[in-house]
Chains A and B, each alone.
Chain A
Amino acid sequence: MAEKRPDRVLGPFDATFWEYCTKGEFRLQRCNACGHYAWPPAPLCSECLSEDLTWTLLSGRGKVKTHCTFERQYYPECPPPWPVVVVDLEEGPWFVGNPKGINWSELKIGMSVKVSFIDCEDSQGQFKLPVFERA
């Protein structure tokens, strides 16, 4: 059963990211010229302005950079307490996610986590959402 979630931003470069997620692959655009990873998906490398980018499989590993827990209900799909983490991915980007199998009160900055996918759906269709569990 897919979890209902608020809508994804599906701009011109985001759709590919979500297509890979939905196949269970955690990929971001890596610059072939300088190695920089783009997030959110971008038309070109913000470091060296190269347009030669490849959707590259990430390790899915990182450390919790910081976190918060919503107590006010902003979205009907997200009942409080609703924890959010920002993960400092091994490849560089700081990636927003939800903890999976970690209670909000156990979250700690520096905690090692790895990506995992859950079945979701928004008004634009079904997709898999990257979330993070203990590494």
Chain B
Amino acid sequence: MGIGLRQPHYAELLDSLPALGFVEVHSENFFADGGAALAVLQQARKHYPVSLHGVGLGLGSAAGLDPWHLDRLARLVDRVDPARVSDHACFARAALHGGDVVHANDLLPIAFNDASLALMVGHVSQVQERLGRTMLVENLSSYLSFSDDSMREPEFFAQLCRRSGCGMLLDVNNLMVNALNAGVRDPVAHCRAFVDALPMGIVGEIHVAGYCQADDLVIDDHGSRVRPEVWALCAHALQRFGAVPVLVEWDTDVPALAVLLSEAAHAESLSHG
């Protein structure tokens, strides 16, 4: 089981070296040529496997991948030899302002249809070829979706993994956030059905996190403890897929390290349950 390596915990984590299966970082935070953050990551790498989790490739962008971004990611992979490399099934880059391609720096939703699947397959293959390794692609929490989707999301991921050779990073909190925002009658059953619809063998990492309610929308803010229903989904996924690494994500209002470690310990107990 793993936790995110975040700046408020750098010193304490590296001093105490708690028992963890891995630490996770957002790849883009370590794209600089040098500096303190990169030194900390390389120090952590001496003690833990690292999961490089990207938020900026924009794998579903019709405008294509940014070669600069891919070069920086490849350099980081060379530097830390990560256990896993992942990013999201989203778009981020699009042409605006008279043709300039801008980067939204957000995880924007893609349609689930043949055209976007073809885009994703091509871009994931491009990344894997450049890195010389397979990657994992994560399902989004999204606040908007498209009315002309032609396939269900589990089918989209099944085909993406089969055609590109990538794996899936299953975020069970995102499933719950989407189900709640869609107003489905039984969110837990809806999410379990999503998990059950995924082929065996494609899930390479599971994410859990907290969410919050803001007015009439559930926000995937990674700012609190994992909700009981999300833990239950995680347990269900572990039961189905076996001993898959689980990451506890906590990115806003980052708590004391001990709190994060207690969440990771709970994830560990589920994997043995």
**A and B part of one assembly:** no
Q: Which residues of A does B touch, CB under 8 Å?
A: none
Q: Which residues of B does A touch, CB under 8 Å?
A: none
